[in-house]
Amino acid sequence: MKSLYASLFLPESLQEACTSQAMERLKHVDMNCGMRYTSFPRFRSLKPYTRYEHSVGVAKLIYHFTGDEVQSFAGLFHDIATPVFSHVVDFMEGDHMNQEATESRTAQLIDQDPLIHALLVRRGIPLHAVADYHQYPIADNDSPKLSCDRLEYTLGNMVNYGFAEVSLVNVILKDLIIAPNESGEAELQFQNQATALQFARLALACGRIYSGDENRYAMEYLAGILRSAITMNLLCTDDLYGREEAVIAILEHSTLKEDWQTFQNLYEIREGTPEDGLNLDAKRRYIDPLIKDQGRATECDSSFREAVLQFKEESYDRWLKGVSE
């Protein structure tokens, strides 16, 4: 997918880090968690949107709003440990509700990359300052607040899903500022209520896709294939921190070939049974942005508040069956 932030400046030091092997690997890890390899109509026409594009976008946004090189490095590296098929590996490890199980390798992968290690030493930046972006609230904060991480993947997905044009991205970026939130912490905030509500509703629309039946079923199905591959010694854990095409090639030339083809051919979800289906809860992602001097979007608009409440209370306790072409 073409960069949404071509006009945003990225310092030369961060541009250099982008050429590292660890960062280049992320060009081969898709943001949509393997969904674009399926045949679901919503996903099979998606343009590639990689963890690399996301990470560079987060770094650009952080620098745009803060001008802080260290925070921008932390944002650039925040997904450096993302495995193939992204959050599918969280499903594989039983962490589908938190989706944080794969973050433990972040510091290790940053420190082991020769280019990044030398770059940080040269600039006098300690590893701990860039290995955990959670320490910087503009980079990341608790959901449903707005951070550069959530901002980037929301903007990226709302364009890729066809919910918005790139022109709206520019309107949103121009409207955002940094100001203290209700807890006194710095947070990205909108100046215009209409823009904030438009963004919030589009973020909610994306959230419904992330937690939808297609995503939950397909991600758990693919997680099962990966579990089997590891049990059968076709893959090892380290293989999951390589490139998606390499893992796919192994699956395509193994006894799991038919399972992978079934995954690729998934095009519809129907009601299932305990004997032939999957039943899985979902992590509900939405954003409730602040509007300068007005409060959060849910406080300013009753219809949005009701939509969020409905989303949070929606039950996913049902058996799903995937249908392949």
Hey, what domains does the chain have and what are their CATH numbers? 12-212+283-313 (1.10.3210.10)
Q: What is the mean pLDDT of residues 172-185?
A: 97
Q: Are 160 and 49 within 8 A, CB to CB?
A: yes
CB 268 within 8 A of CB 323: yes
Dmax over CA atoms of the chain, in Å, equals 60
How far apart (Å, rounded) are the C-alpha atoms in residues 26 and 66?
25
pLDDT digits (tens, 9 = 90+) for 201-227: 999 999 999 999 999 999 999 999 999
Mean pLDDT of the chain: 95
The one-character DSSP state at 212 is S
- Decide which of 70 and 99 is more confident: 70
Region 284-292 average pLDDT: 97
What would the two tokens of residue 265 be?
Answer: 């051919």
Percent of the chain topping pLDDT 90: 90
pLDDT for residue 104 is more than 90: no
Q: Give strand ranges (E) for the chain.
A: 176-180, 186-190, 266-271, 290-291, 295-296, 320-324
**Of 325 and 84, more confident:** 84
% of the chain with per-residue pLDDT over 70: 97
Q: What is the mean pLDDT of residues 134-148?
A: 97
C-alpha to C-alpha distance for 200 and 77, rounded to whole angstroms: 26
Euclidean distance between CA atoms 183 and 160, whole angstroms: 34
Contact criterion met (CB below 8 Å) for 43 and 35: yes
Identify the residue whose tokens are 């007005």. 294
Mean pLDDT, range 112-118, rounded to an integer: 98
* Pick from 121-125, 234-238, 279-283, 299-303: least confident: 279-283
pLDDT for 97 equals 62
Per-residue confidence band for 100, with pLDDT thresholds at 50, 70 and 90:
low
- At residue 171, the pLDDT reads 97
pLDDT class for 276, splitting at 50, 70, 90?
A: confident
Rounded average pLDDT over 123-142: 97
Q: What is the pLDDT of residue 107?
A: 96
Quick one: which of 290, 298, 64, 68 has its CA closest to 180?
A: 290
Assess whether pLDDT exceeds 90 at residue 277. no
